[in-house]
Structure 1
Amino acid sequence: MSYLHSIILGIIEGITEFLPISSTGHMVAASAFMGIAENDFTKAFEVIIQFGAILSVLVLYWKRFLPSWPFYKKLFVAFLPTAIIGFLLRHVVDQLLESVQVVAWSLILGGIVLVWSDKIFAHLTAVGRKTGDLTYKDCVKLGLFQSIAMIPGVSRSGATIMGGLSLGMQKKEAAEFSFFLAVPTMAAATLYKLLGIYKTIQHDQIGILACGTFVSFVVAMIAIRFFMGIVTRYGFRGFGYYRILLGVIILVLLYTGHSMTAG
C-alpha cells in the first residue's frame, strides 16, 4: 500500500463513514479495484482510519459530549450488543471483508431499504422522539441494528438510523445518534486492530496509517455537514438509489469476468 492509496482510501472513508452507503463496502471495493493486496495490515488499515472520521464527531458535537451521565449510559448500552456480537463473530467478519460480491448485494438490499424508509417514515422529518426520550431497552435495540452492519456493505450509520426511525425518532435525531454511537464502536474496533498489528507494523506503515487517518478526519468534517443538510431537506432516498446503482455496477463487473480481487 502506498501513500497515494492511503489518501484515496482516507477520502473515501471520510465521505462515506456517516452517509448510509457503507464506508467499509466502499473501501473493500476500492482496495480491490486498485489491486491492493489483502493482508493483516491492509485489513487493519480499513478499520483504523475510521477513527479519524470518528474524531470529527467529537470536534463538531463536543458540547454533546460534555459530562452527561445519562447520555453516556445510553451510548454504552447501545454499544454493548455490537461489542459482544463483534467479538464472537470477528473471524467470520474478517472473511466477509474479502468478498466484493457480499458488498455488492448488501449495497443493493440496503439501498432498497433506504428508498422504502423514506415512504414509511416520511412523517418523522419534523416530529418524533429525541435522544433524551430513548429508554435503555431502546438503546439495546439500536445496538442490535448497528450489529447488522458487521456485514460489509450494510452501512453502520444506515443500520443505526433505520433502527432509530423504527423507534419513532426524528430523522435528524436518528442520524446524529448514529454519529454518537460510532465513537465508542469505532474506538473499540480501532484499538482491537492496533493490538493485533502493533508488533509487526513497519515504520513506513505508521506514516501511511497516520496519513489515511488525517485525511478521513478532514473530509468527514465536511461530509457530516453535507449529510445533515441533505437528510433534513430530501431524506434518504437519493442515497438508496446510489447504493442500488453502485451494487449493480459491481455485480455486472464481477459477472462479466472482470476481476475485482486484490492482488
Structure 2
Amino acid sequence: MDSWLLFKALLLGLVEGLTEFLPISSTGHLIIVGSLLDYTDEQSKVFKIVIQLAAILAVCWFYRQRLTQMVMRLWTRSPEQRFALHILIAFLPALVLGVFLHSLIKTYLFNPLTVAAALIAGGVLILYLERRPPRVRFTEVESITWREALKVGFAQTLAMFPGVSRSGATIMGGLIFGLSRQAATELSFFLAIPTMLAATVYDVYKARDLLVFDALPVFAVGFLAAFVAALLTVKALLHYVSRHSFEVFAWYRIAFGGLVLLTAYMGWVAW
C-alpha cells in the first residue's frame, strides 16, 4: 500500500474529525485539503463518506447514555419521546430539500473558490449574531418546542451549500431562535445523527460500485483518525462554548477563506 496515500487518509481523517462539529465547514475543508493533496479521484468520494460515518459514530458514542435512554423511552409519553420527535421534525427540511438538490449542488458548487466565499460570508454572519444582545429562552436542549426545532431544521438546509457548515448553520440558527450556546451546540450534535446518517446511506448507495477491498487500509486509517478526532472535538467544544463565544471560529473562517481566494488571485495555487 502506498504510504503517501495512507498519509493523505490520516490527514483527511483528522480534518473531518476536527471540523465536522465546529462551525467552520468540514465539507469545505475536505474539498480544499483534498484539492491540495490531489486526492480528488473516484476513490476519494467513497473515502469521504467513510470518514463522515466515523464522525457520526463518534457523537453517538459520546451521547450513548442519553441515546440509549431515549430509545428505551421512545414508545412512552416522556420528555425523551418528545425530544426525539423534535429532532425528527428538525431533520425533515434537510431530508426533503436534499433529495431534490443533492446532485445539483455537488455538480456545480463543490469547488474551493465557492467554499472560500461561503466561509467568509458565514464568518461575517457569525460575528454579527454574536454581537447582538442575547435572547435566551431555552437553556436545556430537551426543553425546545417543535417550532424551534423546525426553524433550526430550515437553518440547517443552508449547509447544503458547501462552506456554510452544517454545525454552523444549526448552532447559529439555535442562537437566533432563543437557545443558549450550550443548548444550540447540543441540538447541532443530536441533529447531526439522522442528517449525516441519511446523507451517508444515500451516498454509499450511489457510490456502491466504487467500494473495493483493496482500499480497505486507506479507509481504515481515515476512519480511525476521524473517529478519535471527532470524539475529542465534541467534548472540547462543549467545554469551550460554556465559557466563550463563537467569534474565534468566525475570524478563522474569514482568514482561511481569504487565504484561499488570495492564493487563487495571485496564481500561487491552481484551485
After TM superposition, the score normalised by the length of structure 1 is 0.92
Point out the more displaced range, 196-205 or 20-29: 196-205
Could you give the per-residue CA deviations for residues 44-75 of structure 1, whole angstroms, max 9, x where no partner exists?
32233111111111111122212232222111
Could you give the per-residue CA deviations for residues 182-225 of structure 1, whole angstroms, max 9, x where no partner exists?
00111111111111222332212233223212211111111112
Q: 1:206 to 1:87 in 2, by over 3 A?
A: farther
C-alpha distance in 1 between matches for 2:95 and 2:220:
25
Point out the more displaced range, 156-165 or 195-204: 195-204
**Residues 104 and 250, structure 1, Cα contact 8 Å, conserved in 2:** yes
Is 1:233 equivalent to 2:235 in the alignment? no
C-alpha distance in 2 between matches for 1:121 and 1:158:
19
Could you give the per-residue CA deviations for residues 75-123 of structure 1, whole angstroms, max 9, x where no partner exists?
1111111011111001122124531111001100111111122211546
Secondary structure of the residue aligned to 1:188 is helix
Structure 1 vs Structure 2 CA RMSD: 1.7
**Residues 126 and 250, structure 2, Cα contact 8 Å, conserved in 1:** yes
Q: What is the match of residue 215 of structure 1?
A: 225
The equivalent position to 1:103 in structure 2, one of 115, 124, 141, is 115
**Residues 51 and 187, structure 1, Cα contact 8 Å, conserved in 2:** yes
Could you give the per-residue CA deviations for residues 21-66 of structure 1, whole angstroms, max 9, x where no partner exists?
1101011000011111343x32332233111111111111122212
The equivalent position to 2:57 in structure 1, one of 55, 58, 80, is 55
Is 1:154 equivalent to 2:164 in the alignment? yes
Point out the more displaced range, 114-123 or 243-252: 114-123
**Residues 118 and 163, structure 2, Cα contact 8 Å, conserved in 1:** yes
Matches within 5 A, 1:56-95: 56-65=58-67, 66=69, 67=71, 68-95=80-107
User: Displacement of 1:19 after TM fit?
Assistant: 0.6
Q: What is the match of residue 22 of structure 1?
A: 25
**Residues 49 and 204, structure 2, Cα contact 8 Å, conserved in 1:** no
Secondary structure of the residue aligned to 2:209 is coil
C-alpha distance in 2 between matches for 1:121 and 1:194:
43
Paired amino acid for 2:114: V
The equivalent position to 1:247 in structure 2, one of 250, 257, 260, is 257
Paired amino acid for 1:52: A
Secondary structure of the residue aligned to 2:227 is helix
Query: 4+ residue runs of structure 1 moved beyond 6 angstroms?
Result: none
Is 1:166 equivalent to 2:176 in the alignment? yes
Is 1:35 equivalent to 2:38 in the alignment? yes
C-alpha distance in 1 between matches for 2:266 and 2:165:
26
Secondary structure of the residue aligned to 1:95 is helix
C-alpha distance in 1 between matches for 2:85 and 2:92:
11
C-alpha distance in 2 between matches for 1:107 and 1:5:
23
Matches within 5 A, 1:120-159: 120-122=132-134, 124=136, 128-159=138-169
Q: What is the match of residue 206 of structure 2?
A: 196
Point out the more displaced range, 70-79 or 1-10: 1-10
Point out the more displaced range, 82-91 or 129-138: 129-138
Secondary structure of the residue aligned to 1:234 is coil
